Structure 1
């Protein structure tokens, strides 16, 4: 008797004959395996090896590789094969204790700007002006993100004192003279507008990861609130909880 639609493995979210046939899922497995070292990032990606590794079909592997080439993650070169071109970078979810490996900060703008209700509420201040520093986040000479940070004008240290990959515990200590406390994080996404796309070297409408973070000291006093925009094809956020 032939299977009914409801009995078919794909109708239940499964795979035909137990195999992984979803190109989307194979794509996820390929990228995660490369990032975590299960697949050598510098070696050509052979279709036959991937078919065996993930117990999938050749068609699913080809579709997954095509999707990854479209995003710029892979490149197919004559006589060389398919190789990884942009693995991207892992950024800690809150940047508190872990450095963003190979991510450097380049100051783009530093000035005093008029305050506004959102920042006054988040920072619990009643000041007419706040200090704003906008940074470019760079790795391997590519701009992967933008950060706009707002904080009280009473903090007058120069950002030049901070360089290289650093975490927010260090920033809070050396720039704000504070010990880190609670961190509030909001994650979202948006399409790149023309100005942001130009700064990030991507296309208008490209997906961006949007992260808003407010950092507090040990006494629960807000220190700064930041707005981050990362290239969705270059950055992955990573965090853990106990």
Structure 2
């Protein structure tokens, strides 16, 4: 038996041994993204312990990449690390449907406020329709309702929304319908009291944020919802938004520009929603079928 043959057998043995062992990737970015995905999907809950060895085994990642990924999550403010408590999840990532109508305003039952969303009206006014808005919405109405709102989840602001709606009826009547919408949503929220599902998390449809807002659209505008057109881009927080959202000026925000149309293809609302980039994601739930336009 030649030396070369023995050497080849040794190489093959080593190759088979390596193939039989799981290979751990060393990308901290990949581990970070996978951990964020698990948080976003609701697979981890508040006070969940993050243990390096467990994560390394479950994600097929090296211990060092896990360590760096956890440091990145801590920098995002999603987890806290302490010598006694260990590494635990303290904040959730909220998943907002990109193509869904957001509520105009709603409150949650005080007993479940930390598990739901509170939308605060910051400003509202009736204004003469600017020429640009009239052109963008293809409307001839003389007045619009302008508003700005802020949503709070788990005690922290998560988005600021501003928009306009063509005023096709008396202003007092319009605001009375808003009050009726709020009452309808509050009634649904009261039935959800005691649940602990967060908007965007599995089971979140039991909260006010999960009701069919198309129904609220119909209550508000007295005509069925038709469709919406949305555009999403990343922008930096200006001084006003940074102050409202509690972030550094220039921090990345997800901006969703949306026009909501009724069943007759009439534009009823034009809005801009700035979501905190560290606390929110936007998801399309539209199903694309093969051969569909």
1:77-226 superposed matches below 5 A: 77-96=82-101, 102-155=116-169, 156=171, 157-158=174-175, 159-163=178-182, 165-166=208-209, 167-226=212-271
Report the TM-score, using the length of structure 2 for normalisation. Answer: 0.71
Task: Mark the structure with the bigger radius of gyration.
Answer: 2
Gaps of 5+ in 2: 1-21, 107-114, 187-207, 288-293
1:62-81 superposed matches below 5 A: 62-81=67-86
8 A Cα contact 2:94 2:281, kept in partner: yes
What SS is found at the alignment partner of 1:175? Answer: helix
- What is the rounded CA distance, in whole Å, between the counterparts of 2:258 and 2:102 in structure 1? 15
What SS is found at the alignment partner of 1:204? Answer: coil
8 A Cα contact 2:124 2:148, kept in partner: yes
1:114–1:189 Cα change, 3 Å:
farther
8 A Cα contact 1:122 1:214, kept in partner: no
1:223–1:26 Cα change, 3 Å:
same
- Per the TM alignment, residue 170 of structure 1 is displaced from its structure 2 partner at its CA by 2.4
- Per the TM alignment, residue 83 of structure 1 is displaced from its structure 2 partner at its CA by 0.9
CA-based RMSD of the aligned residues comes to 2.3
In structure 2, which of residues 265, 268, 274 is the aligned counterpart of residue 229 of structure 1?
A: 274
Gaps of 5+ in 1: 1-16
Equivalences, count: 225
- What residue is the counterpart of 2:291 in the other structure? none
8 A Cα contact 1:103 1:138, kept in partner: yes
178-187 vs 132-141, greater mean Cα deviation? 132-141
Q: Deviations over 1:72-113 (max 9, x none)?
A: 111112211111121121112122499x98233211111023
- Per the TM alignment, residue 18 of structure 1 is displaced from its structure 2 partner at its CA by 4.6
In structure 2, which of residues 39, 45, 52 is the aligned counterpart of residue 34 of structure 1?
A: 39
Report the TM-score, using the length of structure 1 for normalisation. Answer: 0.84
- What is the rounded CA distance, in whole Å, between the counterparts of 2:43 and 2:268 in structure 1? 40
1:2-21 superposed matches below 5 A: 18-21=23-26
